[in-house]
Amino acid sequence: MTSPQPRADLTEETRNRLATKLGAAGLRVTEPRLRLAHLLFRHGNRHVTAEALLDEAHASGLRVSQATVYNTLNQFQAAGLLRQVQVDQARSYFDTNIDVHHHFYVEGEARLIDIAADAVDVARLPDSPAGYDVDRVEVIIRLDKSDRS
Amino acid sequence: MTSPQPRADLTEETRNRLATKLGAAGLRVTEPRLRLAHLLFRHGNRHVTAEALLDEAHASGLRVSQATVYNTLNQFQAAGLLRQVQVDQARSYFDTNIDVHHHFYVEGEARLIDIAADAVDVARLPDSPAGYDVDRVEVIIRLDKSDRS
DNA sequence: ATTAATGCAAAATCTTTGCACTTTC
DNA sequence: GAAAGTGCAAAGATTTTGCATTAAT
């Protein structure tokens, strides 16, 4: 029998890396944040809802409250570690990919798929209304299941 | 003194036009729907939240319930008379412009501005994942108030 | 020591729903 | 008169908040 691994693969090295990341973002390094950050960032880019992250945290043995998950997601977003994607009126999605890019979205499946920035060419943009600047341009390609004939 | 106008400028002619529109969309012609449709469609394109429409209805002397406003907006949307725009996790916006077009959005001001389809050039799109078709392409240009230096 | 983070439960928002009654077709 | 719409209030769902306790700087 191997011994239980309450902290999964959160090694000292990973902890240090994440602690640096949090520190650089101006966030205090706490155990819940470290472990949530680990869940979020360990495996490439992903899209996550608050509920999904809470479930995942619990499944991984992390006892964290709903409030902390919401606070953490919002703080990470404010700190630029996550991006919020608005595709569904019901839930918010958080994207660990903070580079400029776009999304496919399949309604009904609640599934987001990243599109690399250079895969879409937004050639021309209208002038912004006077007094306003472009913050960012979001392209969402809404998909339907194709019904073959 | 002129007599009160409980139905504002909802003339017989307008009622007939709207009744035809509802009928063509497969919706029964009822007084609340007719009056809400009038508020929505009388003055060019607009963006409206359920709350705003309810307030407007009450201000115009129409006694409708919140439930009816939500039902009506959802039915109009399902019937293709309105388009729902997802820009804010908090509230849903309904757009009376059902043609292909895009939006500016100013967060914090809860303001949507239409962009004509031909003012944006989405030159290249990635292939959709296998088994899925493009329903529609949505471009949202998020704006910030420009701070002059 | 100060300041911030966390948990818990309650509150706040927006939206939907159940059901009795009314209206449309 | 059958089917659908409406109002009312209650329920649902997601997200936020207040406050006491705990942890980080």
Tens digit of pLDDT for each residue in B31-87? Answer: 999 999 999 999 889 999 999 999 999 999 999 999 999 999 999 999 999 999 999
- Residue A103's closest CA among B103, B139, B85? B139
Contact A120 B126 (CB under 8 A): yes
- Residue B53's closest CA among B26, B27, B81, B33? B33
Structure tokens at A29: 């390094």
Query: Considering only residues 86-105 of protein chain B, which place a Cβ less than 7 A from any atom of strand C?
Result: 90-92
Structural domains for chain B: 12-88 (1.10.10.10), 99-143 (no CATH)
Contact A141 B137 (CB under 8 A): yes
Distance of CA A27 to the CA centre of its chain: 17
- Residue B104's closest CA among B91, B119, B92? B119
Q: What does the alpha-carbon distance between residue B52 and residue A11 come to, in Å, rounded to a whole number?
A: 52
Q: What does the alpha-carbon distance between residue B100 and residue A17 come to, in Å, rounded to a whole number?
A: 46
User: pLDDT band at residue B5, thresholds of 50, 70 and 90?
Assistant: very low
At position B35, the amino acid (one-letter code) is R
The answer to whether strand D lies under 7 Å from the CB of residue B86 is no
User: pLDDT band at residue B115, thresholds of 50, 70 and 90?
Assistant: very high
Between the CA of residue B115 and those of A148, B64, B112, what are the distances in Å? 34, 32, 10
- Residue B133's closest CA among A106, A22, A13, A100? A106
- What pLDDT is attached to residue B99? 94
Per the prediction, chain A carries an average pLDDT of 91
A132 touches chain B (CB under 8 A): yes
Which residue on chain A is closest to B106 by alpha carbon?
A132
All residues of chain A having their beta carbon less than 8 Å from the beta carbon of residue B87 are: 86
Give, for all 149 residues of chain A, the pLDDT tens digit: 554 444 458 888 899 999 999 999 999 999 999 999 999 999 889 999 999 999 999 999 999 999 999 999 999 999 999 999 999 989 999 999 999 999 999 988 888 999 999 999 988 899 999 999 999 999 999 999 887 65
Size of interface A-B (CB pairs under 8 A): 123
- Residue A37's closest CA among A88, A112, A48, A5? A48
Cβ proximity of A35 and A53 under 8 Å? no
DSSP B68: H
Please check the confidence at residue B2 and state whether its pLDDT lies above 60. no
B101-106 and B47-48 beta bridge pairing: unpaired
Count Cβ atoms below 10 Å from residue A79 Cβ, excluding itself: 14
Structure tokens at B141: 């240009």
Please check the confidence at residue B4 and state whether its pLDDT lies above 50. no
Q: Tell if the pTM clears 0.85, that is, is over it.
A: yes
- What pLDDT is attached to residue A54? 97
